[in-house]
Chains A and B, each alone.
Chain A
Amino acid sequence: MSDARVAPAQENARRSRRRKVRWDLLFLAAAAAALVALSLTVEGKGDRAWRASLENLREMAFILPAVLVIMGLFMVWVDRSLVVKYLGKGSGMRGMLICIALGTLPTGPLYVGFPMAAALLKKGARVSNVLAFLCSWAALSIPAELMELRFLGWDFMLARLAFTVTLIVPLSLVGERLCARPGETGDGGPTGADGAE
């Protein structure tokens, strides 16, 4: 490949990355402005809002860096071939069960799982397995189940748990089909950022 072909591609990538950053900065600015404006104009509600935000901020300050450090170590130490073997194309039902089990580990809200899921994809995990991992992360957290048991009763909690778990497998398999684009092999892809390899 000649340099002439590579340079514009990089330029494009850089430009689109910049545009995405601006989007979430915009989102942040809007949310923060709304929070300030509403707590100044609506009497007596602002305290509750700020308390909820600060509580979550504190929680995230303790959880997010730890999750990202684990993600970084995973990227550096875990061999791509290992991920492909256990969670890749030929991993079958066992790979999916491993992913569902990984998702149940208590680790906080769903969005903390996104960078971890991206790391799994980069290392060669199947799309369906990553979908199962995220669904299980969202739906099967043990602290949440305990809350549900307490407030909605055991029959509600057990029935919802059973139906959700049963649906995760077909959802992930269908999702993989829908994600596959023509001409793509679906085995992760050379997204870079693998660090030392």
Chain B
Amino acid sequence: MSWTAVGIDSVALVCLLLSLLKSREKTLTALRIAWNALKRLAPGVLAIIAVIGLIVGFVPPSWILSAVGSERGILGAMAAALLGAVLFIPGIIAFPLAASLRSMGAGTTAVAAFITTLTMIGFVFLPLEIKELGRRFTLVRNGLSFLAALVVALLMGLVLGG
């Protein structure tokens, strides 16, 4: 259990107790809202968890290395950004992977594009995001995030070189 989980569980527990002290009825309503949301989200979340296993287990890092490392400049950044958007890799694997991308010769631009889309965009999340926030919102957020990632990557290349 991570510190994040411990922290957020304690916050939720304290809020729940305070709420219970103030009104039993409202607390029950809140729990019902939470339960309904959990039921609504469960299939999507489980699917994401399965896809994480697929990516971590069956996409060898060497594929990613060869896909990102071979191209330079804007084309390389585009490829890296696309790959980062499609994949969803937990941070604990993503950052070491990015470091080895760089040591294998990938430019700053490509590595920055990869990391930025990796964190801001998730093709795996799309069904869940559409369900919660609507198709239009999802499209706009992901589209603009992709553009922003390319801009960040190009600026990084200018500032840090390569």
Contact = CB atoms under 8 A, between A and B. Distances in A.
Contact of A50 (B53, B91, B145): B53
Interface of B: 1-5, 7-9, 11-13, 15-16, 19, 25-27, 29-38, 40-41, 43-54, 56-58, 90-92, 94-96, 98-99, 102, 108, 111-112, 115-116, 119-120, 122, 125, 127-133, 136-137, 140-141, 144-145, 148, 151-152, 155-156, 159-160
Contacts of A69: 12, 15-16, 30-31, 34
Given A69-B16, A111-B125, A134-B141, A24 B47 contact: yes
B92 A77 contact: no
B9 A62 contact: yes
Contacts of B57: 35, 38-39, 45-50, 52
Interface band, chain A: 35 or more
Given A24-B44, A110-B122, A160 B30 contact: no
Contact of B44 (A28, A155, A181): A28
B37 A31 contact: no
Interface in A92-143: 106-108, 110-111, 114-115, 117-118, 121, 127, 131, 134-135, 138-139, 143
- Main SS of chain A's interface residues? helix
Given A31-B54, A73-B15, A64 B49 contact: no
Contact of A114 (B34, B36, B108, B132): B132
A165 to B, nearest CB: 10
A35 B50 contact: yes
Interface of A: 20-21, 23-25, 27-28, 31-32, 34-35, 38-39, 42, 45-50, 52-53, 56-60, 62-73, 75-77, 106-108, 110-111, 114-115, 117-118, 121, 127, 131, 134-135, 138-139, 143-144, 147-148, 150-152, 155-156, 159-160, 163-164, 167-168, 171, 174-175, 178-179, 181, 193, 195-196
